[in-house]
């Protein structure tokens, strides 16, 4: 939040015609780079220190605005796992699952290509082996997560995300749900939904998650293995399994429309609709 705030302030300071922060939603046509930002992440999740994205909450409309601008990249990123070691278990788990969501969504997004795939697969591998340790506050786990989330950011900042983020953003805006918790709950379900549009990519996700024997699996088997490995990691670090304690059923139409309007939705590998997003939310209740 602090890094995203500094990005918005830095952009507006250098581009005063965008003084209304709402005008920065989406891809704003700013002309000047942000005033210099030195970004020091204290969580291992968002990779805001290295991305072109920032998210601002519009409290009046109960929604999060995704802003995308190459002019906002910090000039220096200080990524130090010691800065993250005071995170409590719950925040470590939530931000870590946010990073995993970045890596998986970035790997399967419509814009993905070989160079971004390289970042995302390595990030999945690092996060899968490091997150449990980070939650236990081991030095190796903290260091791995600091690196893994950063590598994921280098990837998705170039190719975008998908509807896991589209569905998570309105939960944060409406209920103040931690972003990583929302992503973690939604990720396995959306992976199942997206599977038909991902070719053979889930085999490599399963392999990066540490699943053995993927080369001998059928497509259905390795897709199931990838989803199960993600769900197991989420469960192991204490993330809830569904949205029952978060979402009020009467809010689902608003959430689905907000998710459809979100800037991350067009990058999803499978084209969706408000009706299908509604069904995805309801399946998590």
Do 205 and 91 lie in a common domain? yes
Q: Where are the alpha helices (DSSP H) in 30-138?
A: 89-108, 114-135
Q: Please, which pLDDT band fits residue 126 given cuts at 50, 70 and 90?
A: very high
Do 148 and 245 lie in a common domain? yes
The end-to-end CA distance of the chain, in Å, is 28
Alpha carbons 172 and 278: distance in angstroms, whole number: 17
Q: Please, which pLDDT band fits residue 104 given cuts at 50, 70 and 90?
A: very high
- Percent of the chain whose pLDDT exceeds 70: 100
The domain in which residue 98 lies consists of 87-283
Mean pLDDT of 192-216: 98
For 238, the 3-state DSSP assignment is: coil
**Is residue 248 included in any domain, yes or no?**
yes
| pLDDT (0 to 100) of residue 277 | 98
Do 223 and 123 lie in a common domain? yes
- Domain boundary residue among 21, 44, 77? 77
pLDDT digits (tens, 9 = 90+) for 66-92: 899 999 999 999 999 999 999 999 999
- Percent of the chain whose pLDDT exceeds 90: 95
Nearest to 99 by CA among 125, 68, 77: 125
For 56, the 3-state DSSP assignment is: strand
Q: Please, which pLDDT band fits residue 63 given cuts at 50, 70 and 90?
A: confident
pLDDT digits (tens, 9 = 90+) for 204-213: 999 999 999 9
| pLDDT (0 to 100) of residue 145 | 98
- pLDDT above 90 (res 265): yes
Please provide the average confidence, as pLDDT, over all residues in the chain: 96
Provide the whole-model pTM: 0.94
Name which of 53-62, 96-105, 126-135 the model is least confident about. 53-62
Nearest to 6 by CA among 69, 72, 83: 72
- pLDDT above 90 (res 279): yes
Long-range CB contacts (< 8 A, 24+ apart) of 80-83?
Answer: 80/40, 80/146, 81/44, 81/139, 81/142, 81/143, 81/145, 81/146, 82/142, 83/40, 83/41, 83/42
**Is residue 82 included in any domain, yes or no?**
no
Q: How many domains does the chain divide into?
A: 2
Do 196 and 258 lie in a common domain? yes
Do 122 and 181 lie in a common domain? yes
């Amino acid at each position: 939040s602090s890094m995203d705030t500094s990005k918005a302030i830095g952009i507006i300071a250098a581009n005063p015609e965008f003084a209304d922060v709402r005008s920065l939603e989406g891809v704003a046509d700013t002309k000047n780079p942000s005033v210099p930002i030195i970004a020091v992440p204290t969580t291992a999740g968002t990779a805001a220190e290295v991305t072109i994205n920032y998210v601002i909450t519009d409290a009046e409309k109960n929604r999060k605005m995704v802003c995308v601008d190459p002019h906002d990249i910090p000039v220096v990123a200080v990524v130090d796992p010691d800065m993250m070691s005071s995170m409590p278990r719950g925040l470590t788990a939530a931000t870590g699952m946010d990073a995993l969501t970045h890596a998986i969504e970035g790997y399967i997004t419509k814009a993905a290509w070989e160079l971004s795939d390289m970042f995302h697969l390595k990030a999945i591998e690092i996060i899968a082996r490091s997150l449990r340790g980070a939650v236990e506050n081991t030095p190796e786990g903290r260091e791995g997560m600091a690196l893994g989330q950063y590598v994921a950011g280098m990837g998705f900042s170039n190719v975008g995300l998908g509807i896991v983020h589209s569905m998570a953003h309105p939960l944060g805006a409406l209920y103040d749900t931690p972003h990583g918790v929302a992503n973690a709950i939604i990720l396995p379900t959306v992976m199942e939904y997206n599977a038909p549009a991902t070719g053979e990519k889930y085999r490599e996700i399963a392999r990066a998650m540490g699943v053995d024997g993927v080369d001998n699996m059928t497509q259905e088997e390795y897709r199931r293995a990838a989803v199960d490995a993600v769900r197991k990691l989420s469960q192991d670090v204490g993330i809830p399994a569904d949205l029952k304690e978060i979402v009020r059923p009467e809010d689902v139409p608003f959430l689905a429309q907000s998710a459809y309007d979100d800037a991350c939705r067009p990058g999803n590998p499978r084209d969706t609709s408000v009706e299908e997003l509604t069904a995805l939310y309801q399946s998590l209740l």
